[in-house]
Structure 1
Amino acid sequence: MRVAEFDGTRLHFRVDGDLTGAPVLFINSLGTDLRLWDPILPFLPAGLRIIRYDKRGHGLSDAPPAPYSMGTLVRDAEQLLDMLDVRDAMVVGLSIGGMIAQGLAVKRLDLVRALVLSNTGAKIATREIWDTRIDTARRDGVAALAQGTMERWFSREFLDRPELALWQNMFEQTSLDGFTGCSAAIRGTDFYTPTSGLRLPTLGIGGSEDGGTPPDLVRETVDLIPGSRFELIRRAGHLPCVERPETYAAMLTDFFTETGHV
């Protein structure tokens, strides 16, 4: 385990693979930590420098008082790559991670060679939806949102599998400040205009049964970037890297190859 401290907040991160290889930064979703990417790691090609971290308020990172701004979350990713002396990274972001990836590319294109925007949007849900979730978490705890979240996140097939308990536990263990802080960041973000100004290779990935960021939202977002393409993973929900890891990793590998990143 490694820890970096930025602006008084300690972030847990790890680097795997070839330490001299092409860098790939993975940014996870709300209510998960860097273990979100564990299922796909065995299926990724050799020669990659794989960088993962726990967003503030998640996993083993600090949970400063909520709310957080999207600018702060982008700054965390920016400072981590600067600390590691990384340039021209492939950035793979899922859900809020995809929003952070968009913001990072807009702010620091020198850090980002290409984007994978997975199960995300330039804007996700409405202010009223996020207000309700934040209020519920503050009143009843993050666990009160777990059942509804699992139903939005996963396909009907996966909801009957024993592994569901692992992801529900991870969600329920998210700190209150982490959940409400990042929810507030999503609530306040609309990247339609800045993302439409991006010009870099971009792959969008959606899950056919995603109740959080439906495929049409992902497609609409990546269509803002000229030359992008969209791929749909069938029989998968909001976390296709969990439900269909081989398929997900194959899509990443093809994109890495197309962009000369492996």
Structure 2
Amino acid sequence: MEKNRNLLSVRLATGVTLPYLAQGDANGTPLVLLHAWGESLGSFDRLTPLLRAGIRVFAPDQRGHGEADKPATGYALAQFTADVVAFLDELGLTRAVLLGSSSGGYVAQQVAIDHPERVAGLILVGSPRTLKGRPAFAAEVEKLTDPIDLGWVRATLGWFPLVGDVPEWFVDDRVVDGVRMPARVWIEALRGLYSAEPPTEIGTITAPTLILWAAADGLLSEVDERALAAAIPASRLIVYENTGHLVLWERPDRVAADVTDFLLTLR
């Protein structure tokens, strides 16, 4: 049950065309939402209606995902990062707050390292400190061929067990996200993440940062998240109890409240 959205589209200097959602106060704080690997801008469907006044939201599909262009190559972390900066350029945004969900937060961290002058703040939602090293499920991903099987995508949700209730329609939409990705994007985008040097190991993030981590996250440990917080001097870590890795899926209401409060501190 995907939402009917009035999406805009932009051709980036990096050569890809991205659809994006723009909503909220035209004069509000610019907030760019970066979805996770395997998802789309639709993963923010339950968050954006809850964001309060004074925020201008932009949510693009990243290359290879959703309705964005799906080039044959170009899925290194550096290329996802370049797309974000080019997106800011095209929208005329000198600076913006970046919110990254899961691996989208990895991209956001790299933008903050490479282009600190463009990042007014970071919000990392279930975001890793490091993805270095080939994950166990990479072997399964690397066997993928087109067309992507819907049942396989649904089964991959077991890699990130849910603790709280998530509406069935929302889960179904995320399965559709996965089916829309060609096999090469599944493979190369994952490889681009785990082969990259962790952003906080090659530089220091100076932007004010809010880190939202779930206590029942079976993927990211408390040790790792506290190490992430320690690596970012101007950061605050908030722990969500009774929540799994997919924080944005399970707790959009609390994420919206914490995001709004954080943005108020930047004014």
TM-score (norm: length of structure 2)? 0.87
In the alignment, structure 1 residue 146 sits paired with structure 2 residue 157? no
Could you say which residue in structure 2 is the equivalent of 1:4? Answer: 10
Percent identity reads 23
Residue 224 of structure 2 corresponds to residue 232 of structure 1: no
- Whether contact under 8 Å (2:28, 2:54) holds in the other structure is yes
Query: Helix, strand or coil: the match of 2:211?
Result: strand
1:1-262 alignment, distance < 5 Å: 1-6=7-12, 7-66=14-73, 68-124=75-131, 126-129=133-136, 131-138=138-145, 141=148, 143=150, 145-158=152-165, 162-163=168-169, 164-189=171-196, 190-195=198-203, 197-260=204-267
Quote the Cα distance in structure 2 between the aligned partners of 1:39 and 1:28. Answer: 13
Rounded Cα–Cα distance in structure 2 between residues aligned with 1:162 and 1:146: 15
Give the 3 Å change call, closer, same or farther, for CA 47–152 of structure 1 in structure 2: same
Gaps of 5+ in 1: none
* Cα offset, 1:193, TM superposition: 1.6
Tell me: CA distance 1:47–1:128, structure 2 relative to 1, closer, same or farther (3 Å): closer
TM-score (norm. length: structure 1) = 0.88
Deviations 1:34-82 (A, max 9, x none): 1111111222120211011001111110111146111100000000001
The answer on whether the counterparts of 1:130 and 1:187 sit within 8 Å (CA) in structure 2 is no
**How far apart, CA to CA, are the structure 2 residues paired with 1:129 and 1:82?**
37
Query: Structure 2: which 5+ residue stretches go unaligned?
Result: 1-6
How many residue pairs end up in the alignment?
Answer: 258
CA distance in structure 1 between the aligned counterparts of 2:37 and 2:86, rounded to whole angstroms: 20
Moved more, 51-60 or 81-90: 81-90
The change in CA–CA distance for 1:148 and 1:66 in structure 2 (over 3 A counts) is farther
Indicate the SS of the match to 2:165: helix
Say which is worse superposed, 116-125 or 87-96, in terms of deviation: 116-125
Q: Compared with structure 1, are the counterparts of its residues 157 and 18 closer, same or farther at alpha carbon in structure 2 (3 Å cutoff)? A: closer
